[in-house]
Amino acid sequence: MSRKFEMDEKSLVIGAMVCLSLATGVMVLIPYFLTKQIQPAKGLKPYTVLEAEGRNVYISEGCVYCHSQQPRDAKQAPDTKRGWGRVSVAGDYYYDSPHLLGTMRTGPDLFNIAARQPSKDWHLGHLYQPRAYTPGSIMPSYPYLFDVKKTEDVTKNDEVVNLPPEYAKAGQTVVTTPKAHALVAYLLSLDHTYSPLPAIPVQGDEQSLSGGR
């Protein structure tokens, strides 16, 4: 009985190790070798210091929990019909670390939010009070990313948020903080509307597809 138990235990451990090895190969090693040689498209630039700061704010505020950045193929979902742009490819994320692909879409995909909404004023106001710009929106507001000043105390160095009249309070003016300014800079960097699927030369395969920001 004891010997049979030892054999069963050994088989269980071996089986578990085989399954773990297969999973590691399929989910880690194969994707790594398929993408490690991808290069950025011509025109793709690293994030500026301000955009990188905004990306950190995006992460810290948990935006990735409600927004994805990966439009899918038309065979999988109607993302292109939703106006979210072409399907994303590995090269689109060349300068992203960590990647912010997202797994939930409580809100719309942001892969091309800067192309859909290029207005800085809109983004600032939308962060302060989403329902002022999108009626019925369930997105939380982020008033702590802004300062509210008496209108007479606003200086020329303040960046004023131009809210719709019904959301503006008499005698008060909303101004941005560095965090809000950086976050919007990051959102305005999310524009992947260059030519559909540019070919990115990679070592040993000049027909591989990649992309740029």
Q: Which tens digits make up the pLDDT trace of 69-84?
A: 999 988 888 998 998 9
What Rg, from alpha-carbon coordinates, does the chain have?
23
Among 10-14, 96-100, 169-173, the least confident range:
10-14
The confidence band for 207, taking pLDDT boundaries of 50, 70 and 90, is very low
The 3-state DSSP class for residue 24 equals helix
Q: In this model, does residue 60 exceed pLDDT 80?
A: yes
Domain boundaries, the chain: 37-117+188-213, 119-184
Percentage of the chain beyond pLDDT 90 is 58
Q: In this model, does residue 197 exceed pLDDT 70?
A: no
Whether the upstream peptide bond of residue 98 has omega within 30° of 0, thus cis, is yes
Look at the block and give the residue holding tokens 């030369």. Answer: 201
The per-residue b/e assignment along 168-207, b for 16 or more CB within 10 angstroms, e otherwise, is: eeeeebbbbeebbbbbbbbbbbbbbebeeebebebeeeee
Q: What's CA 158's distance to the chain center, in Å?
A: 28
| 151 Cβ contact partners less than 8 Å away, ≥ 6 residues apart | 171, 172, 173
For domain 37-117+188-213, give the CATH number.
Answer: 1.10.760.10
